[in-house]
Chain A
């Protein structure tokens, strides 16, 4: 059963894949709870299952067994349309590769989730501007992604993730393609969003120092299993 106040909860979640004759358990019997407004760093080496777990939390994938609860709702019980709606309105996602659509301007990229959520046309421009202002890109509305630096592209991706005003932000290696200074800039933005909007953030990273500096809690995965779930801190300082 979901816990009151939990934004996300994984209950004995397993996700396994068949690769030829081998059965791969990418996530193996993981239980985890993320509170509302918590900033959790999900650490682990490559292939540890952290991105798979994030995809399960995002509703992009379904667990082989176990359940994921988001704000009390079991994602496994949702149909495809409900999951799409969950991805549209409840969670925002940021990726390592930014994943902006190259043929669209920044404004159009950020507007895309609003189109998918069927937000009225008249309301969209204001929402797009508001999201871009939050990441300090309001003057780059008409630029295409190829005309932006890596940091700017990631900020644009962040604006796109925020534009539908989700309650949970899932970031998959958002600094992976950036230099350390720019990565720090993105992390500051995430922290600012977490503090000012009270948004729950799950950050997947393999950069321990960044996670230690910004996350409230660090959860470590190794070989698909939970290695440690850290200590929860209310001060926002890593313990």
Chain B
């Protein structure tokens, strides 16, 4: 029989026992809904974790240091690793290790998928507000942080430009300055810091890039006290970005370029004093931001080939994904249990249908239906129930997800926590759920269809 005729007959048969077939289809729908609800919870939690992690800036970041920094701690570096970089400019006195200097920074910036490279600007200092001194830690914030969600929900605004004389305060520090942190926006802070300057005069004057790196200098630096007036433009409520070298470790955030231009004395300046005469000043470390976490691996490898030590949290991401894969699998298995029960419902319904339609099967065979036609008819009926149940189940699953999200957000709001979406029903889950529903239904239809096809037509025609 042709597919169109088979489908027509199957749908007609399903309509005949409407109540029973509807209940069976509803059983499948509940099974699929359970599957969808559990998996969408897993997917939602994974997306939530991913969003938080991406916002933290940890997983699209590579931290770079010179291997010379580690050598002092007793690490052995294979000389062949660094030999390829031997021609690069800038070296320590020990020729085995390449220095992390301005040339190296520029070279890393040229790597594919690198969006920015910056040194850590973080120094303890004194701030004055309304004449009152406060000891705090100032940290530089790269301009890329503007769009990565770290400052979502902040009061005020992000820096007007990458080198503006502006500051964003962390809420806890802002509360120390005023009972009403939002009232600080637009006010001024006086930043006192120690600027380091090279001892010997240089042909190029001061380093335009700022920071602790610069042109060729002789050994030694001088420290000069300086002040800078900063305008408060915002107050950020949460940890903007924590972690190694992260901006969350500062309580007063300033634009990265401004921070570099201040040339504030930092810990690695002591290392600079001890460097070989005639070599360029370097950075103690550089932070490299990739376009996405997926590009961190190749960038890390490329930096290591340049002769630097590079570190990222890529492995941690992998483990996290592995965890969620296992978590989703378990949720899927748990959710599928209801689908197994629904499968038994289909078998029951179709076996009942065979008993009821025994004579009809006999008539069909007498009129020329092959065993294959009868089998396909029952198979199709199971498939149609699976398809309808799958579609309905996805809808119910989505509604369950919405209901749980509304309930969760109601609870979170009562706990003064921000609302979040813990459920997600991506397209692939919709397709997988409907596909699984049809497959499970077809498997359930195997036995009844085969039994119907094998009915003896003479006996079936005698059946009353």
Contacts and interface: CB of A to CB of B under 8 A. Distances in A.
A61 to B, nearest CB: 5
Interface string B360-393: 1011111111111100000000000000000000
B16 interface: yes
B12 interface: yes
Contacts of A160: 367
Given A81-B372, A95-B461, A87 B367 contact: yes
B367 A88 contact: yes
A87 B359 CA distance: 17
B458 A61 contact: yes
A87 B366 contact: yes
Contacts of A89: 368
Contacts of B2: 115, 118
Contacts of A81: 370-372
B458 A55 contact: yes
Contacts of A95: 366, 461
Interface string A46-69: 000000000100101100000000
B462 to A, nearest CB: 10
Nearest to B12: A103
B371 A88 contact: no
A99 to B, nearest CB: 5
B16 A84 contact: no
B16 A87 contact: no
B368 A88 contact: yes
Q: For this complex, into which size category does the number of interface residues on chain A fall?
A: 20 to 34
B368 A80 contact: no
Interface residues of B, dominant DSSP: helix
Given A103-B12, A116-B367, A164-B368, 17 more contacts: A60-B366, A81-B370, A81-B371, A84-B365, A85-B368, A88-B368, A93-B366, A99-B363, A99-B366, A101-B363, A103-B16, A113-B368, A115-B2, A115-B5, A115-B9, A116-B373, A118-B2
Interface of A: 55, 58, 60-61, 80-81, 84-85, 87-89, 93, 95, 99, 101, 103, 112-113, 115-118, 121, 160, 164
25 contacts: A58-B366, A60-B365, A60-B457, A61-B456, A80-B370, A81-B370, A81-B371, A81-B372, A84-B369, A85-B368, A87-B366, A87-B368, A93-B366, A95-B461, A99-B359, A99-B363, A99-B461, A101-B363, A103-B16, A112-B364, A115-B1, A115-B2, A116-B369, A118-B1, A164-B368
Interface of B: 1-2, 4-5, 9, 12, 16, 359-360, 362-373, 456-458, 461
